[in-house]
Structure 1
Amino acid sequence: MTVIHLESKKLALCPKYPEESWRKTNPEIFFLPQDEVLNFQGHSVQEKLSTFLPWKISYRNPKDTLVHLSSLKKQFGEACDAIFQKDLNRIILVEIGHGIVDVYSSDALKSTVEFLSAPFEVKSIAPNSDIGFALANRLKASAPHEIIMKLATQGNEKPLIIVTNHLNCNFSQIYSTFKLVLAKGSQAELIIAEGNSQFGVLRHTLVLEENAQLSQLWINITTDDAKNSNSLFEREVNLGENSKFIDAQIMAPHGITRVTSNIVFSGKRASANSSAAVIATHGNFDYEPIQEHKVPQGNSHLNIKMIVANRAKSVFQGLVIIDKEAPQTLAMQVNKNLLLSKNARIDASPRLEILPNDVMCKHGSATGEIDEKQLYYLSTRGFSTAEARKLIIKSFAQETLSLLESESLLLNAAEHALEAALNQLPQT
């Protein structure tokens, strides 16, 4: 594949022969005509292609943190303020908008926090992907710099980082790249809530250095306003030696949405426990989660559940890669799907690429409908059919939150976000 260099006043084009992982989503929808492409500030890319365009980062009064957290009511409902009020002394709120970043950091924190805007490095999230590389070139043109946050915690302090990414965006196109670097031995919790527009490409990167620990809640809940949107969400998690990553995802997409996530094991004895609940009621959702083991003794678990209603379509194509240099690896990937309509569709294609012999690897996928025997049993216990269906669906999805620490703020937030996502399902 040939990618035209960005300095040439032309943008990277979609490869003519897309790889297998794009067989259910036409990649050309993410390659707008170059005269229509805007940058992260809303200007024409062609006019600003060679211009130095860093993000404008501003530090705001932390006393206003709770007021700005109200923008998350679509994600967490009316309980939003109550969820965060008791933990304001450890919150770092990062609001990403059109070309600007506003930071609200608690004065009570002793941790070292640094923000900067640096040139974005072109890289495909999926390994060896021509389309991924071309899309990264496109993203570079629209968002030439990325927002970098470096965090080094002190003692037992565990900051809560909340990133709101274009939640209140009224623009037709949105682009951003955000990177969090968690220093050696540090620990933190992270909530990322991403919005959408008619067209958007949002990427975030998490770097966990040696012995670092991070728990993440990744949320994308959209409404009917986005039913004609095209959205691409990308994530890379890079794990250093002995680092630990816990991840829960809640997604309620509309329109055409593709998510590519790659958890890369770069250090020995790193572990990742990841889960996702996808509630699709409209449009097409394409999810490609990757577990890429490059070094020995890694441990990764992935549990993804999809609930698909109406005429929505979802694609799951998980991939586990274990390099030759990564023996003694344990990797598991499970996908379970629930169809709520005769017209809903799910295409599941779990994949394995394993080179060494000394590994333990499992994967599987299952798709079905609500069990009539379960409905009957609940009806004998006094539940109406609608109540029984709602209980079964909620129980199916809620299992994905079990890896979050009991009675933690992250679990409380995740339960409210899941409830908001499930409320989008048709009531029958």
Structure 2
Amino acid sequence: MRAAWVLLPALAALSAYYVYLPLPGAVSDPWKLMLLDATFRAAQQMGHLIHYLRFSHHLIVLNYLISTFDLYQLESVSSEDIKVTDAVFDGVEVRVFEPPARGDESLKRGVVYIHGGGWALASARTSLYINLCRIMADSLNAVVVSIEYRLIPKACFPEQYHDALRATKHFLQPDVLAEYSVDPSRIAISGDSAGGNLAAAVCQQLSKEEDLTVRPKLQALIYPVLQAFDFNTPSYQQNRNMPVLPRHVMINYWLYYFNGNHDLAHALLINNHTALDVGQALSFRGRLNWTSLLPPSFKKDYKPVVQTTGTAEIIQKMPALLDVRAVPLLADNETLQLQPKTYVLTCENDVLRDDGAMYAKRLENAGVDVTLDHFHNCFHGCMIFTLWPTDFSAAFQTRSSYIKWLDENL
């Protein structure tokens, strides 16, 4: 009995130590965020242990754990009034959300949505994304096509990009739009995080295809990941240990996406792959000069990390690091000029904040109509967390602003 009185406080202290993280004072629901992050870290560590024991790949384990938790949340998602069907668009699985017919019988708006998760996690069938797409379909009177692209480790770049492009082009066909009663002049492409990456890359490619008869009117990117050139932008430095996406985790997702060697993680961290003597990277450096692309409030007193000598072999081993289909922020100005009206949502407490802000600025410089919607109290991934127990005030705040912009512009 006496031992229990010693053990219980010790366990409580260890648990508190594991959960607690110092967070900026403005972060929404800090203790709930710490608990979410601790749960996610524990799931990741369990996955790594199973991976180490060679039972399964740790990302497959992590996705299994996410889906197991998701079974509980699915009970909170009602499909009332919204028709939800599964389909295959040019070999790619999609989930289609259709609002009920309304009295005016007018054509509906259309939204192609691409989910996030580091190209490795989550699904169009995850409750958090089902809930988001249902609300979009209902609020916008829009047909929402949620793309179920293949995931790491079973598929790596460029397969996710090809899946998203094929499914989107299929939906944009006039006969398919007519089947779903969608107005060809009122279609948006959207996605969050890695899905924002795919949405931006797909939009860039569509803008260059001359034979398309239907093109998206808008693109809406939610805290998108857009570059692997510089892992020391101010937001990468400032938020390097922030939940839910610390810097080292984002670098690992890039390595998984490119099927790269994880021994290169440290070299990427210090920007060895884009050093001044790495000739392949020289032509892209001017397109990602954050000292000119970011506002002073983002730059603060952070300094660029530019290596004089680096490791050219990294680009040789992973040429996709400079492939605009994977890193849309590095696209040339001629491509950016062709982009549709754009919405970019960024969060202050996110390593990817500056990716979105720089893309918005480059698009603006290219003459594109851009809205940069920045949230000072929010964190990466927040918009989808609207279901108990992972319901955050930041989620409702960002989702409301995002849907409002789509409603006013689509």
Q: State the TM-score, normalizing by the size of structure 1.
A: 0.29
Q: State the TM-score, normalizing by the size of structure 2.
A: 0.30
User: Structure 1 or 2: larger strand share?
Assistant: 1
User: Structure 1 or 2: larger helix share?
Assistant: 2
